[in-house]
Amino acid sequence: MNRTPKRILHITEMLSAAGIESFIMNVYRNIDRSKIQFDFLVLRDQKEFYDNEISSLGGEKYFVHSEIKNTLARVLDESRQIKTFLEQHHYDVVHIHYTTPLRAFYLKAAKEAGVPVRIYHSHSAAVSGKSKLKLAVYKYCQNVIDKYATDCFACSEAAAKWVFSERTLKENKVKIIHNGIDINRFLFNESIREEYRAKLGLEDSFTLINTGRFTEQKNQSFILDIVDGLKKEGHNIKLLLLGDGPLKDSYESRVKQLGLEDSVLFLGVKPNVQDYLFAADCYVMPSFYEGLPVAGIEAECSGLPCFFSDNITEEVELGNQTHFLPLEAGRNVWVNKVMNCEPNENRAKATDYVRVAGYDIHDVAEKMTNFYLR
């Protein structure tokens, strides 16, 4: 007998090629869609990166939108709209994804609309601009989560400590959900490396790579400082930047100011990010904060030596090719460490420790399926 799959509503800000959405889509591609289907509720009405794929997988996309400028008032308005939506569309599970506790009010809306399972999922270990007022609001929102969430998820221990209350943490109510990836997709391939190095004109250059949205959080400006320092020391350097975002124009202008046009390649958003990772020699992520970056796990899985800022949780360290450096040390320290890192002689071996650490998306998707069907 054919059964209608259980539909899960994911609430997230947008469906662009960013970390939260990458995690959700990685799970979506690998769950048993005869048993589970995903729908999405986002906060803006526009064509986005994953729209076509979601439609092809059988999902539906909905939106609510508020024009209110004040952040807290806007969240409350969105919550009212979400309650109305959920009263009109039946879901047994609502899964809310965010980087702070601020969207706790969505849980209240789901509770009032009669949704029995309400998940709040933390995807970051900090945000910028932590004023006293903002932190006080977050503290209140943690209490709202305590009251209305049936389940609490986080991508890392650091992300759990940032979003959830001390009471929730002490009672061990937070479940760590690894940001799983398709490990086989990132299994190093030497022939693809050679193909893409030739196509990109990398020749014998030492090639750095960063993958992520161009935002203040990701701090790609610091990578440009590193490349500038390496060039001034006479090194043959190339930098591959994969992504898009609000700071792209300013970064392109800075590249011109520094005279790095021949060294820095802005490649946009790529569906085959693994091929560019294979082509590179070193991965750099100097973020001001992260939850547990999917992009970092992908880079490690491809066998690259990785340099992360020490603002990023050490939970991302899955092998002996991972290094943490303080941003306060300045670019010269980063330049020295990057140029003296030991190359990975067996990059294909990296998939083994990524799998052992629990980041195989097939395992994560199976656990998520079992949870949704419980």
Confidence of residue 129 (pLDDT cuts 50, 70, 90): low
Confidence of residue 103 (pLDDT cuts 50, 70, 90): very high
Residue 320 forms part of a structural domain: yes
**Segment 42-101, tens digit of pLDDT:** 998 888 889 999 999 999 999 999 999 999 999 999 999 999 999 999 999 999 999 899
Q: Is the dihedral of CA 172, 135, 310, 289 positive or negative?
A: positive
Q: What is the predicted pLDDT for the residue at 151?
A: 97
Amino acid identity of residue 99, one-letter, is: T
Q: Are residues 234 and 340 in the same domain?
A: yes
Q: Are residues 25 and 134 in the same domain?
A: yes
Strands annotated E in the chain: 6-11, 36-42, 61-63, 93-98, 117-122, 151-154, 174-176, 206-211, 237-242, 264-268, 282-285, 306-309, 322-325
Q: Are residues 200 and 233 in the same domain?
A: yes
Q: Are residues 90 and 27 in the same domain?
A: yes
- Residue 261 phi/psi, 5-degree rounding, is -55, -35
d(CA 154, CA 131): 23
Q: Are residues 59 and 109 in the same domain?
A: yes
Q: Which domain holds residue 296?
A: 183-356
Query: Total structural domains in the chain?
Result: 2
Q: Are residues 169 and 190 in the same domain?
A: no
**Segment 240-271, tens digit of pLDDT:** 999 999 999 999 999 999 999 999 999 999 98
**Segment 303-322, tens digit of pLDDT:** 999 999 999 989 899 888 89
Q: Are residues 160 and 192 in the same domain?
A: no
Locate 109 and state its tokens: 């809306």
Residue 1 forms part of a structural domain: no
Q: What is the predicted pLDDT for the residue at 1?
A: 44
Strands in 174-176's sheet, in edge-to-edge order, are 61-63, 36-42, 6-11, 93-98, 117-122, 151-154, 174-176
Q: What is the predicted pLDDT for the residue at 315?
A: 87
Q: Are residues 196 and 174 in the same domain?
A: no
Q: Are residues 311 and 171 in the same domain?
A: no
Q: Are residues 111 and 159 in the same domain?
A: yes
| Contact yes or no for 24/38 (Cβ under 8 A) | yes
Packing angle of the helix pair 220-232, 248-258 (nearest 10 deg)? 10
Residue 258 forms part of a structural domain: yes
Q: What is the predicted pLDDT for the residue at 54?
A: 95
CATH code (residue 303):
3.40.50.2000
**Segment 165-200, tens digit of pLDDT:** 999 999 999 999 999 999 999 999 999 999 999 999
| Contact yes or no for 329/292 (Cβ under 8 A) | no
Confidence of residue 131 (pLDDT cuts 50, 70, 90): confident
Q: 110-114: long-range contacts at Cβ-Cβ below 8 A with a sequence spacing of 24 or more?
A: 110/82, 110/83, 110/86, 110/148, 111/148, 112/83, 113/82, 113/83, 113/86, 113/87, 114/86, 114/87
Q: Residue 128: helix, strand or coil by DSSP?
A: coil
Residue 43 forms part of a structural domain: yes
Q: Residues of the chain with pLDDT > 70: what percent?
A: 98
Q: Are residues 365 and 256 in the same domain?
A: no
**Segment 318-353, tens digit of pLDDT:** 888 899 999 999 999 999 999 998 888 899 999 999
Residue 128 forms part of a structural domain: yes
Residue 150 forms part of a structural domain: yes
| Contact yes or no for 69/52 (Cβ under 8 A) | no
Residue 55 forms part of a structural domain: yes
Q: Are residues 241 and 300 in the same domain?
A: yes
Amino acid identity of residue 39, one-letter, is: D
Residue 303 forms part of a structural domain: yes
